[in-house]
Amino acid sequence: MNGLRLTIVVIRNPFVVSPNVFPVNRQLAKQTIMRLLFLHIPKAGGTTFHAVLENLHPNKNGICSITPRFSIQDFINLPKAKREEIDLLKGHFEFGMHQYFEGGDFQYITLFRKPVERVISHYYYVLRTPQHYLYHKVAKTNMSLLDYATSDLTTELDNGQLRLLTGSEDPAITCTPELLEKAKENLRKYFVSFGIVEEFDKSLILFKNKMGWEDFPVYKKLNVTKKKPQEIPQEVRAAIEERNRFDMELYAWAREEFAKSCSTVPAIEEEVKILKYANKAFAEGYMEGLEDGKKALFKKYNLFGIGSKLSGALRKVSGAF
């Protein structure tokens, strides 16, 4: 085999209702398919997670991605029958897209990121992306990070995570404590789970258990912002915090809820360790189908203690062992 490739054995039905998510009859839960909506918060690990979802989703014809080439309006304009065929909708959109589906149930999923780091990453992403809708306004005018973060160019910079989770991207809407509580309510009621970018691997294992995935969601990092300065002046960070104070509160709450959810997953730390090893194996070329690759991997990372469980995980990922 030439080059690296990622082969994931998909499960028959990854989007089965969890009895812990909605009050459904447990006998019927395994037969009920949920429509999944991935609400991708910009610069919050979503591009990598898109790839994970696409690899694990068994119905490739049921995937719809909101992109610059296929807008939200394009989705809305789809014939009703075509929309109803979609069981995985993902992309940059605000809460409320479920209203365009008439049949079946739905659940959302998302990832949070530290608000200050997200805004910083957003700025440098715009600077290196000529096709971004803000590029000419930012790069061509040599706008500073501070000026960008405190500007009114986009509501993505003004408590953007809160706005997306409450369907409040309209700049006429002011962020308030009441809107913060609405975001929490939506997350409790309509989200099967949510993760934290700073704990991405643990988030994937949480999703794996909540969604019923049988396979370890091995991935390669995508769309990582490069060439960010190592030190951001404290006054800039403080200005971003002040501008995004409701996002700061929401993120702190999400971290607490995330920790509670993780505490209900048996052996989550062991599964995270397995995922990390499997990712290293993939990145370093052990998924080439060579029998001695397993031995080299076990030796390099001292994995003999984990034994068959890791071997089984890698077998599902690559089919090589």
Distances (CA, A) of 10 to 55, 63, 130, 274, 300: 7, 15, 36, 18, 28
Q: Residue 321: inside a domain, yes or no?
A: no
Q: pLDDT, tens digit, for every residue of 202-227?
A: 999 999 999 988 877 888 776 566 66
Q: Which band of pLDDT confidence, cut at 50, 70 and 90, is reported for residue 278?
A: confident
Contact (Cβ atoms closer than 8 angstroms) between residue 15 and residue 34: yes
Q: Residue 134: inside a domain, yes or no?
A: yes
Average pLDDT over residues 182-196: 97
Asked if residue 294 and residue 211 are part of one domain, the reply reads no
Q: Which band of pLDDT confidence, cut at 50, 70 and 90, is reported for residue 9?
A: very low
Q: Which residues contact 18 (CB under 8 A, 6 or more apart)?
A: 29, 192, 210, 211, 212
- pLDDT of 32 strictly over 90: no
What region, left, alpha or beta, does residue 319 occupy, with left being phi > 0 and alpha being psi -120 to 50 degrees? left
In 167-286, DSSP assigns E strands to 191-196
Q: Which band of pLDDT confidence, cut at 50, 70 and 90, is reported for residue 284?
A: low
- Where is pLDDT greater, at 10 or 64? 64
Q: Residue 69: inside a domain, yes or no?
A: yes
Asked if residue 252 and residue 131 are part of one domain, the reply reads yes
Percentage with pLDDT > 90 across the chain = 60
Asked if residue 114 and residue 54 are part of one domain, the reply reads yes
Asked if residue 181 and residue 310 are part of one domain, the reply reads no
pLDDT for 164: 98
Which of the residue ranges 69-83, 210-224, 275-289, 302-316 would you say has the lowest mean pLDDT? 302-316
Asked if residue 303 and residue 203 are part of one domain, the reply reads no
Q: Which band of pLDDT confidence, cut at 50, 70 and 90, is reported for residue 286?
A: low
SS3 state of residue 124: helix
- Where is pLDDT greater, at 137 or 312? 137
In angstroms, the CA 233 to CA 251 distance is: 22
Asked if residue 284 and residue 138 are part of one domain, the reply reads no
Q: Which band of pLDDT confidence, cut at 50, 70 and 90, is reported for residue 103?
A: confident
Asked if residue 302 and residue 177 are part of one domain, the reply reads no
Asked if residue 276 and residue 227 are part of one domain, the reply reads no
Classify burial at 154, counting beta carbons within 10 Å of its beta carbon; exposed 0-12, middle 13-18, buried 19 or more.
Answer: middle
Partners of residue 129 on adjacent β-strands: none
In angstroms, the CA 61 to CA 206 distance is: 26
End-of-domain residue from the set 265, 282, 297: 265
Asked if residue 274 and residue 261 are part of one domain, the reply reads no
Distances (CA, A) of 121 to 128, 180, 296: 11, 23, 37
pLDDT for 226: 60
Nearest CA to 56 out of 314, 320, 321, 316 is that of: 316
Average pLDDT over residues 40-51: 90
Range of the domain at 105: 26-265
Which of the residue ranges 101-110, 116-125, 259-268, 277-286 would you say has the lowest mean pLDDT? 277-286
Average pLDDT over residues 152-180: 97
pLDDT for 225: 60
In angstroms, the CA 213 to CA 184 distance is: 26
Looking at the 3D structure of the chain, how many domains does it have? 2
Partners of residue 106 on adjacent β-strands: 35
Longest dimension (CA), the chain: 61
DSSP characters for 7-46?
A: -----S-TTBPPTTTS---HHHHTTPBEEEEEE--TTSSH
pLDDT for 220: 74
